[in-house]
């Protein structure tokens, strides 16, 4: 861009720091405006009584936080943990099972690896629509199959019963997340040197033994990483829960994400939303610190 000779000389002088900083500025401005400022501001609103609809706010100290802790915080924490643990463990089981199966020399393994990724490519709302239809109380295919095989006596309203709604949401989210687990674990499995398996096999180790003695130790790093990342993501997941149940029935599928959203945009209570969000962030920060520790350890190893 520097057309003149003078410009060129200046250009070479500003090379290094100034140019490097200029390059970072647009991204930094976006991060500041869209992430950093909103985050700090949302959390400070925890200490004010503030409405989404009216300007102005009054300082109330810890009142919001006390209210939340005395209110539904513990129920939300429990439900968020149930959702998060469920949507971390189940996709791991399915993803790991498929990764192990498709890492063998069975016919069509390569094509199947690609086909199994389909659920991952589907937008979150589509996942919700599809499972809403499968779980439908009156015409749903799940009821028909389970009734046909005699596993249930009468059709269930899976998404509208407090006893089954959370499980249904977890199943839908599992369907969306297992392919990512599968891809990561397959990549991990491919780093296991085949010679180790062969040596163990020559020494008379069976498949289970080889899995425990050879495969698992190799995968420890990647297993920890995918579980941790999936846990952090699910701890703040919103889309599928919100579309499938909207937090219902009777708030039994409400998590921190949907509760903060509802409090702010349907209850218009920014103080309460901020208080919930602040507590949520504290928990999340603990997870992120664990993640950073973990990945630093991985880097050193």
Segment near other proteins (CB under 8 A); pick from 36-44, 56-64, 65-73, 162-170: 36-44
Any idea what the Cα angle at residue 208 is, between residues 202 and 214, rounded to 5°? 65
- Which lies closer to other proteins via its Cβ, residue 63 or residue 147? 147
Instruction: Out of 42, 82, 200, 290, point to the residue binding other proteins (CB under 8 A).
Output: 42
**Residue 74 C-beta: closest distance to other proteins, Å:** 19
Q: Site mask, other proteins, residues 128-147, x = CB under 8 A?
A: -xxxxxx---xxxx-xx--x
Token pair 């610190």 is found at 289
With CB under 8 A as the contact rule, the residue among 6, 31, 64, 253 that binds other proteins is: 31
Q: Which is nearer to other proteins, 36 or 62 (CB)?
A: 36
Binding to other proteins, residues 89-118 (CB under 8 A)? 94, 97-98, 100-102, 104, 106, 112, 115-118
Cα(129)–Cα(135) distance, integer angstroms? 10
191 touches other proteins (CB under 8 A): yes
Interface residue with other proteins among 190, 209, 216, 282 (CB under 8 A) is 190
Give residue for tokens 């501001």.
Answer: 41
Name the minimum Å distance from CB 72 to other proteins. 16
Question: Which span (29-37, 64-72, 81-89, 157-165) binds other proteins, by CB under 8 A?
Answer: 29-37
Q: Which of residues 199-258 bind other proteins (CB under 8 A)?
A: 201-202, 206-207, 222, 225-226, 232, 236, 238-239, 242-243, 256-258
Between CA 240 and CA 76 the distance in angstroms is 17
6 binds other proteins (CB under 8 A): no
Task: Answer for the pair 294, 228: CB distance below 8 angstroms, yes or no.
Answer: yes
Cα 146 to Cα 130: distance, rounded to the nearest angstrom: 18
Residue 261 contacts other proteins per CB under 8 A: yes
Residue span binding other proteins (CB under 8 A) among the ranges 2-10, 60-68, 157-165, 212-220: 2-10
Sign of the four-CA dihedral 205, 208, 214, 215: positive
User: DSSP string of 171-187?
Assistant: HHHHHHHHHHHHHHHHH
Using CB under 8 A as the binding criterion, the count of chain residues that bind other proteins stands at 113
Q: Which two tokens stand for residue 172?
A: 């839908």
Q: How far apart, in Å, are the Cα atoms of 235 and each of 23, 39, 180?
A: 33, 17, 17
Residue with tokens 């994400």: 257
User: What part of residues 279-298 is at the interface with other proteins (CB under 8 A)?
Assistant: 280-281, 284, 288, 291, 294-296, 298
Provide φ and ψ at 224, rounded to 5°: -60, -45
60 binds other proteins (CB under 8 A): no
Q: Which is nearer to other proteins, 86 or 277 (CB)?
A: 277
* Structure token digits, residue 239: 């889309």
String of DSSP letters for 121-160:
HS-HHHHHHHHHHHT-TTT-HHHHHHHHTTS-SS---TTT
């Amino acid at each position: 861009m520097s057309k003149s000779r003078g410009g060129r000389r200046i250009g070479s002088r500003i090379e290094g720091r100034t140019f490097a900083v200029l390059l970072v500025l647009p991204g930094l401005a976006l991060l500041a405006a869209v992430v950093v400022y909103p985050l700090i501001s949302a959390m400070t609103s925890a200490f004010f009584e503030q409405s989404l609809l009216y300007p102005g706010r009054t300082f109330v100290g810890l009142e919001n936080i006390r209210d939340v802790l005395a209110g539904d915080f513990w129920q939300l924490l429990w439900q968020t943990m149930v959702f998060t643990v469920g949507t971390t463990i189940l996709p791991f089981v399915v993803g790991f099972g498929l990764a192990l199966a498709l890492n063998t020399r069975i016919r069509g393994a390569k094509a199947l690896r690609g086909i199994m990724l389909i659920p991952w490519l589907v937008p979150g709302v589509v996942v919700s629509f599809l499972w809403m239809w499968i779980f439908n109380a009156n015409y749903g295919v799940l009821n028909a199959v389970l009734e046909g095989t005699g596993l249930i006596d009468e059709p269930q309203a899976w998404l509208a019963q407090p006893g089954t709604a959370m499980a249904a949401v977890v199943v839908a989210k599992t369907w969306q997340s297992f392919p990512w687990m599968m891809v990561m674990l397959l990549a991990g499995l491919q780093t296991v040197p085949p010679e180790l398996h062969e040596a163990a096999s020559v020494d008379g180790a069976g498949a289970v033994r080889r899995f425990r003695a050879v495969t698992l130790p190799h995968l420890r790093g990647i297993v920890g990483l995918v579980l941790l990342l999936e846990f952090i993501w699910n701890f703040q997941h919103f889309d599928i829960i919100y579309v499938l149940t909207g937090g219902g029935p009777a708030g039994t599928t409400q998590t921190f994400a949907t509760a903060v959203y509802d409090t702010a945009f349907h209850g218009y209570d920014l103080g309460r939303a901020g208080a919930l969000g602040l507590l949520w962030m504290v928990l999340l920060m603990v997870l992120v610190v664990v993640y950073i520790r973990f990945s630093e350890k991985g880097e050193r190893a």
